[in-house]
Amino acid sequence: MKSTPFFSNLKCRECGRLYPKQAIHVCDFDFGPLEAAYDYEAIGKAISRKVIESRPHTMWRYRELLPIDGDPTVGAEVGFTPLIKADRLAKILGIRELWIKNDTVNYPTLSFKDRVVSVALSRARELGFEVVACASTGNLANSVAANAAAAGLKSYVLIPADLEQGKVLGSLVYGTQVIGIHGAYDQVNRLCSEIAGKYGWGFVNVNLRPYYAEGSKTMGFEICEQLGWRIPQHTVVPMASGSLLTKIHKAYKEFIQLGIVADTPFHMHGTQASGCAPISHAIKRGTDIVKPVSKPDTIVKSLAIGTPADGYYAIHSMKQTGGSAEDVSDEEVVEGICMLAEYAGIFAETAGGVTVAGARKLIESGHIGAGDSAVLCITGHGLKTQEAIVGKCGAPRLIAPNLREFEEKIYAPDAAAASL
């Protein structure tokens, strides 16, 4: 495997100290998060629009901007999901132009997590890990289990013991070791942290986090390329830890720095569910101190992170770009899911409902101009959270098996013609 000169170090986001490219994630001095740093001069000489366009349609077409040394060995087919122009949804939301970045069809587990996991596991292999793990209640677990299985890595998924079995089936099927832990959420958190610290396991969102998080940038790179090599005026991103928003922002900045896209004004907007909206509430209060939510209360489990690790940085991304944040009730989330399905033909999980309903509010309030263009990031498939909309999308109409009843109750040709 050839080593590339592009990914140079890990770097503390707080103090800028440089660290070697190992399985570490926190600065020893100030506990700031470490993130990947690159040699942009070398990257600028190696890639261009033309070089990127010549490569296969996966997220690895931007590989110089991802934190691995050699070629990817896990998730080689991930990414390059469709960017869809959603004219009917644009009309309903009251905006001139609207695009959907559709990660509901990301390969192989139908969520954007495949992006981050494929980077984390490719790097885990380079670092010599034989066991990979994560603590997750849903999308992340599915993705680690599937990608590890495909790559032949042994994997463990840690979950709270009282998690519904239905939610872990999507991991068990891949043959991963699922470990239920008795205890409150914070106790489980702490145990996972201790395991990651003590044993030689690669925890994708703990000691491999600097690598893992960078995978999210590919969503931003793809958006720019699919828009014809430009940055969208507005990007609306669902926020859990806030990491995805900061990484899409980083992707835009990197493309500008490399001269791959023009330096045009853009705005990053974040959305959350009102039952767990620490980042949105901080933005609305005009502060960058994120007040934790101790008991999240929302149907949007995938965004229900009460102490968001990247909240502070997400707030700064939104402030720097003149963006804003919004949060929506569970009822609005369901409306958002239904609008996206009915007007764009995309069935998203609850986080997608948050994005659509949040965008509607941002357009109504003028934070996103009605005459502007926006991209909504839709991060996971609706089949994963069907329970959220059961009984809320109507029910089949039942008839006897004869034409008379069909015409009486369902479809009368004369009446249909009259209504044309």
Partner 1 sequence: MATQLTRFWLVFPHHLVTRPLVYELAREFAVVTNIRQASVNAEVGIVSLSLEGESEEIAKAVAWLESLGVQVDPVEMNIIES
Q: How far is the CB of 113 from partner 1 (least distance, A)?
A: 8
**In the complex, least distance from residue 312 CB atom to partner 1, rounded to whole angstroms:** 9
Q: Between 44 and 160, whose beta carbon lies closer to partner 1?
A: 160
What is the Cα–Cα distance from 63 to 71, expressed in whole angstroms? Answer: 8
| 162 near partner 1, judged by CB under 8 A | no
Q: Is 381 in the site for partner 1 (CB under 8 A)?
A: no
Cα–Cα distance measured from residue 250 to residue 217, given in angstroms and rounded to the nearest whole number: 7
Identify the residue among 58, 104, 218, 241 touching partner 1 (CB under 8 A): 241
What are the CA-CA distances from residue 369 to residues 74, 185, 272, 335 (Å)?
41, 40, 20, 22
State in angstroms the smallest separation of the CB of 141 from partner 1. Answer: 9
Nearest-5° Cα angle at 322, 40 to 309: 65
**Region class of 202: left (phi > 0), else alpha (psi between -120 and 50), else beta:** beta
d(CA 1, CA 125): 12
User: Cα–chain-centroid distance for residue 44?
Assistant: 27
Other beta carbons within 10 angstroms of residue 339's beta carbon come to: 19
Residue among 82, 160, 180, 369 that touches partner 1 (CB under 8 A): 160
Which residue among 29, 387, 408, 412 contacts partner 1 (CB under 8 A)? 29
Task: Report, in Å, the least distance between residue 159 CB and partner 1.
Answer: 8
The one segment of 47-55, 180-188, 339-347, 368-376 that binds partner 1 by CB under 8 A:
180-188
Q: How many C-beta atoms lie closer than 10 Å to residue 2's C-beta?
A: 6
CA atoms in the 13 A half-sphere facing the CB of 50: 2
What letters, b where the CB count within 10 A reaches 16 and e where it falls short, cover 250-288? bbbbbbbebebbeeeebbbbbbbbbbbbbbbbbbeeeee
Q: Which is nearer to partner 1, 124 or 206 (CB)?
A: 206
Minimal distance in Å, beta carbon 287 to partner 1?
7
Minimum distance from CB of 354 to partner 1 (Å)? 12
Selected range binding partner 1 among 134-142, 172-180, 251-259, 392-400, rule: CB under 8 A: 134-142
For partner 1, what does the binding mask look like between residues 285 and 324, x meaning CB under 8 A? --x-x-xx-x------xxxxxxxxx---------------
Per-residue tokens: 292: 């934790």
Is 136 a binding residue for partner 1 by CB under 8 A? The answer is: yes
* Per-residue contact flags (x/-) with partner 1 for residues 189 to 228, judged by CB under 8 A: xx-xxx-x------x-xx--x-------------------
With respect to partner 1, which residue has the nearer C-beta, 2 or 198?
A: 198
Q: Which stretch binds partner 1 (CB under 8 A): 27-35, 53-61, 67-75, 96-104?
A: 27-35
383 binding partner 1? (CB under 8 A): no
Q: Which are the contacts of 342, defined by CB distance < 8 A and separation ≥ 6? A: none
Say which residues have a Cβ less than 8 Å from residue 270's Cβ, sequence separation at least 6.
236, 237, 238, 239, 242, 245, 279, 280, 283, 314, 318, 323, 325, 326
Q: Which two tokens stand for residue 239?
A: 């926020």
Return d(Cα 2, Cα 35) in angstroms, integer. 22
Q: Is 135 in the site for partner 1 (CB under 8 A)?
A: yes
Report the residue from 138, 170, 352, 382 that binds partner 1 according to the rule CB under 8 A.
138
- Contacts with partner 1 by CB under 8 A lie at 14, 25-26, 29-32, 134-140, 158-160, 185-186, 188-190, 192-194, 196, 203, 205-206, 209, 240-241, 287, 289, 291-292, 294, 301-309
